[in-house]
Amino acid sequence: MGGFLSGKKGLILGVANKRSVAWGCAKALRREGMELAMTYAGDRLEAGVRQLAEELEVETVLPCDVTKPDEIDALVDGVGNAFGGLDCFVHGVAFAKREELKGTYLDTSREGYQLAHEVSAYSLPAVARRAMPLMEDRKGSIITLTYIGSVRVIPKYNVMGVAKAALEASVRYLAHDLGPRGIRVNAISSGPIRTLSASGIEGFNSILDQIAERSPLRRNIDADEVGDVCAFLASEMSRGITGSTIYVDAGYHIMGI
Ligand code: NAD
Ligand code: IMJ
């Protein structure tokens, strides 16, 4: 298979179903010829993720709940056995308790704060550190997914906004730590997309409408557009970019009004 990522090996965390942003990334990476491993978070998602993996001819499917250090260790062992090395790691994982995404940030609970940060921010360095021996000196690329709620107030995004700020800062520190080993680290800040993680969010339709009305491109974006930027960041075309957050949001982030 041709494609500008052929010969490269990638690991992708965060595919839950066909609407997942990580699925858009997986499709783009496969299209460009990357060999992939995928994970599922918990038994409930296993069958669905295995079926999706089959669609893309992805053979390596492993469990990984990022709150379980043993599962991250086993994941990296499994990827090492399957591939022998790793060029790309896509992190598409986020979680906060539903009650934290209602009401005010002021009311964030200690456990809610800790869980959101553990799953949505700490998991990036946690997986990256363990994957390091597989990625060293291969011009590797680490890519995570973030949202503008890290730098602007989006009502109800609450503790997730604070966790995304930590995630984006993490991207910069990891870029500094891993640059000397030839590994780049970047984030894609996606505009809103109707996924499982966006379902049941109060006011989501109105946010989509406002972006269609006000963004420079006068429309919303989809997971395939995020996937294409992910493929670019995974490739040597982006070899001069690290520590950055790239917006794929139809230009919405430039607006002041
Ligand atoms: P999604 O629900 O499809 O993906 C979230 C993923 O996180 C799921 O695959 C879920 O299994 C995984 N996950 C949750 N807890 C986990 C744990 N403990 N261990 C391992 N995995 C766990 O929703 P999505 O919208 O595709 O979200 C993917 C990423 O994109 C997230 O980081 C999200 O913040 C980001 N993002 C989404 C949007 C949007 O509007 N949908 C916009 C910007 C950024
Ligand atoms: C999430 C909450 C509030 C407003 C929101 C979102 N907007 C967007 C999202 C405007 C676009 C989606 N997003 C960017 C996320 O990062 C979502 C994370 C998330 C969603 C849920 C819902 C179900 C649940 N826990 C969650 N944890 C994290 O129980």
Q: Which CATH architecture has domain 9-249?
A: 3-Layer(aba) Sandwich (3.40)
What does the pLDDT read at residue 137? Answer: 86
Say which residue the tokens 């010829």 belong to: 33
Contact 190, 147 (CB under 8 A): yes
What does the pLDDT read at residue 6? Answer: 98
What angle (nearest 5°) sits at the alpha carbon of residue 232, between those of residues 229 and 236?
Answer: 160
* Ligand 2 atom at shortest distance from the alpha carbon of 149: 14
- Amino acid in position 251: G
* Ligand 1 atom at shortest distance from the alpha carbon of 21: 26
Q: Is the pLDDT of residue 65 over 90?
A: yes
What does the pLDDT read at residue 166? Answer: 99
Mean of the pLDDT values across residues 153-177?
A: 98
What does the pLDDT read at residue 60? Answer: 98
147: annotated active-site residue = yes
Q: How far is the CA of 70 from the centre of ligand 1 (A)?
A: 21
For 104, residues 6+ apart whose C-beta sits below 8 A from its C-beta are 158
Q: How far is the CA of 18 from the centre of ligand 1 (A)?
A: 12
Interatomic CA distance for residues 41 and 150, integer angstroms:
24
Q: Is the pLDDT of residue 1 over 90?
A: no
In this prediction the pTM is 0.99
Q: Closest Cα to residue 6, out of 35, 28, 47?
A: 35
Interatomic CA distance for residues 88 and 189, integer angstroms:
18
Strands (E), 44-87: 60-63
Quick check: CB of 16 below 6 Å from ligand 1? yes
> How is the chain split into domains, by residue range?
9-249
Q: How far is the CA of 147 from the centre of ligand 1 (A)?
A: 11
Nearest CA to ligand 2 atom 22: 197
Mean of the pLDDT values across residues 26-43?
A: 98
Contact 125, 184 (CB under 8 A): no
Interatomic CA distance for residues 19 and 200, integer angstroms:
15
pLDDT digits (tens, 9 = 90+) for 181-233: 999 999 999 999 999 999 889 899 999 999 999 999 999 999 999 999 999 99
What does the pLDDT read at residue 2? Answer: 87
